[in-house]
Each structure stands twice: as C-alpha cells, then as structure tokens.
Structure 1
Amino acid sequence: MKRLFFLLSCLLMIQTVSHGQVLISLLLGDKLNSDKLEFGLTTGVTLSQMDGVAHDANLPTFNLGFYFDIKMKNAWSFAPSCLMLAKMGGKGLASYPVGDPDMDAVLSKGSVNRQLAYIQLPLMLRYRLKNRIYFNAGPQVGLLRSAIDEFKVSSSQYEGTIDYDIASGFKKLDAGATTGIGFSLREEKSMNFGLNYYYGLVDIQSGGDDSGYYNRAWYFYLTIPIGVSKGKK
C-alpha cells in the first residue's frame, strides 16, 4: 500500500510540474531566457531531520519551485531559486503530552512526524566544469508558513493520525548554508539533476530555552528550463 501511495504521489508531482511548465510558458514564453539568463522549474525530494531532536528517520517530502541561472565571468554563475513548497522536520519523534489527560492516554501509544513548511530561498554561486558537472555553494534562508506535529496512533482506542499546530513554538526565519553537486544533460539550457545539502545555523525553536534545534536536509532535485525549444533542453 505504501509503494502504491508513493507511486501515485510521484505521478501527481510530475503532472503538477508539467501543468506548471505549460502555464508559465504560455504566460512568459522565452522572455525570461536569454544568452545570459536561464529560468525554469525545480522539483524533487527532500530528506530532512532536526538536529537536537531524537527521531527514527529522515522525513521524506516533495519540493517545488522555480530557479534562475545568471551567467557571470568564465565558468561562474549566480543560481538563486525559490522553493514555494518545501518542508523540514523529522520522522518518528517520541510522543509527548498535550495537556488533555484523555488525549494524552491515546497519543502516548504513537509517534510523531514533525512537518515545518517553509518558503526557501537558496542563493548559490555555481561553478561549471567542462564535463557538464557543476558545484553549488551559498546561503539559504527560509520563511516558516506552518508547523504541524502529526501524531500517528495505533491502539485499541484509536487508529489514525491527529494533527497539532505547533507554529507558535518555532521562529519564523531559518537560515544556513547549502552546498551540492549537479549534472547538466547538455551544454546550454538543459535539464539538470543534482544533490544539495542544507546545514541550518539558526536555532529554530522560539522561547529562548537554548533547545539547540537545527534544520538539516538533503535535496535530490531536477530542474526544467522554460521557454526553451525541445532541441535545446
């Protein structure tokens, strides 16, 4: 069942990217692509965790946004992007009391998946090699949109998930550094595959209790240029 859900999710993501590309192409055409500028969609899978919080595994989520690649001198370029749909967090955190004795008795039997939804802005410099491999590095900032603890419960009393809004316990702004590697399918205006790693430098929990909670994440991504003929991708 989990494999089927994952497959359907992948198909939905591909369909969303395809529809988004068509819509933006119709609106903008090739106006955002030139000899010095490339624009397109970026999508992929994020595997995230929270340093300082005990959990069983990385949280897998999809990400989606857009990117620019602005050529500079020689093999250098400035490659900012904006991930409008992106999540951080962790999977399999220990359950905790929420203040309601009846609910606490139920929730104590389960585990927690923490999902922190951000708008993320990686602002990276890129260096390209002649074999079409490139390296990225730069700062990244994130603006928190929502924060949810999803309690997964399986007991004789209740089986399912219960969501709790925990946004008040986290700072609105996250910041850190990102670095990674990628590969271009062609020399110019091409689809790219890559892997980035994000290292958060801001304690994301609010309240000033020195919790030491920091976001960490791996990004497996695909970029698709928009407004470029198929022969140039």
Structure 2
Amino acid sequence: MMIAGGLMVGGFLLNVILTAALHPSGEEDDHPAIFTEYADSSGWIAVHLGQFIGVLVTLGGLLLLYRVLRGTDESALVARLAAAAAVATAAIWAVLQGLDGVGLKQAVDSWASASGAEKRIRFANAETVRWLEWGFQSYFRILLGLTLALFGTAILTGRRVAGWLGWTALAAGVCSVIFGVDVGYSGLASGLQDVLGVAVFVLVLIFAIGVLVTGVRGRSRRHS
C-alpha cells in the first residue's frame, strides 16, 4: 500500500507541476488567442508527454491499491470493477494526450504559419481537433470519476482501509463526473469547472497522501 500511495502522490505532483509551470494557459475557449499561445509553445509536446506519464503513474498506484482491496468479501466485485475502470481511464487518457499533445499542436502550427484563404481553412481544422479534444476530455473526466468512486466504494465495503479514504475518493469521483459532463456542454472553461477543478485537486491529493501515510504506518507496525 505504501508503494501505491507513493506512485499516486508522485504521479499527481508531476502532472500538477508540469501543468502549472510549463503548460500555456489562458481563456481556453477563445480559440484565436489560445491557439496563438499553443503555437508559440516550444515545449508543448514534451509537457504533454510528461503529463501522460504522470497520470499513468497515478493510475498505476490505483491498480496496486486494488491488490490490497481484492478479496472474497462483498468488496471484491467492486474492486475488480474499479481496476477495470482504471485501465479504461488510462486508455482514453492516451488518446486524449495524443490528440492534444501532438494532433492539436500540429494543427495550430499549420494555422499560425499559413496566410490568406489557407489560414481560415487551417483555423477551421484546428477547431475541429479542439472539439474532438473536448469530447475525449469529457469522457476522460467521467471515467476518472467513475474509477475514483468505485475505489472509494470498495474501500468502504471492504473495510481494509480507513473509511474516510473511501469517502474522500467517492467525493472526488462525483466531482470529476460532474466536471466531465459540464465539459461536454460548456467546453473547457466554465465557472462550475473552476470550482470542481479545485475540489477534485484537493480531494485527490488528500486521498493519495492518505493512502501513502496509511501504507507507511502499516509497514512500520509490521516491522516493530
């Protein structure tokens, strides 16, 4: 469990640092302005590769947590569903990062270097890629929320781990699902997403640190 928590915390922090420090930011749905920022970003592809790795590491921690939660009691089925949801989340995350980290970059670069009538065509192409990103972002958030909610439920029913961790994961999952649904309707920027983004950030961080601390304490007790 300590390794699971370590992977979750490490992957989470890697993703947060890359996003906050190196990812261009702005009004996400103001496409001319944000596309210009993306085109000017020399580290775009590398940053998204780092984000891809960070989230996969975090999901790997959840899969290790599954090994703690699996068993023969009533939580076993829920734990297996949680692990399957984590794998599905990793798959859609790979598609999303390939689309955003490579496809969108190529599209906005082509738009930025074009002129005349071609520039309008390139801009329309970039918007199409952006809208595809909306779709995958929406379903990624929903699947991530389902994964967290299922792990939270498995913790609560299995009683192998402190119950407050289960409630934390469940709350994070519900917020993430709502976030994902809102992306489908509102795009990548809305007041609701601002609030839910902070909530998911705090809850997932608390959950990851809680799993890590629980694992460290359990190891200490076994060696004492």
Larger RCO (CA under 8 A, 6+ residues apart): 2
TM category (shorter chain) comes to under 0.3
Higher helix share: 2
